[in-house]
Amino acid sequence: MRAALLPVAALCLNGCAADSTQTTMADSPIVRLQRAHEAARAVSLLFRPYLSPAQTARIDALGLLVDRALAAAQVAHDRASRRAALTDAAAAANAYRLATGG
């Protein structure tokens, strides 16, 4: 009975892995930055209780910068302003990731 379930389990695991890689290939840069920022934010929540209030305030401020830059990129009307907003968002996301230890 167990031997019959192994191929089914392997197919399920392969299907899950294929879904995650398939969706990231077609994503826009804005969506990729949002997902990366959300992942960094989730990791930072683990260490938040051990940080000083000053470190927490800095991380919160950097998170707001990322959110604002991503919002600006979403509402940009032309490619140049979208590219500039994405550059700002990427720089802010990098600073956020470094501040959170990622």
Domain residue spans in the chain?
A: 28-99
CA distances in angstroms from 89 to 46, 64, 95, 100, listed in the order given: 23, 10, 10, 16
What's the confidence (pLDDT) of residue 24? 47
Encoded amino acid at 8, one letter: V
* Confidence band of 100 (pLDDT split at 50, 70, 90): confident
The CA distance from 31 to 67, in Å, is 12
Print burial letters for 40-60: b (CB count within 10 Å at least 16), e (below 16).
bbeebeeeeeebeeeeeebbe
* Confidence band of 2 (pLDDT split at 50, 70, 90): very low
What's the confidence (pLDDT) of residue 26? 52
Model confidence at 10: pLDDT above 90: no
Give residue-wise pLDDT tens across range 20-71. 444 444 568 899 999 999 999 998 888 889 989 999 999 999 999 999 999 9
Look up the pTM and report it: 0.67
8 A C-beta contact, residue 34 and residue 66: no
The CA distance from 81 to 94, in Å, is 20
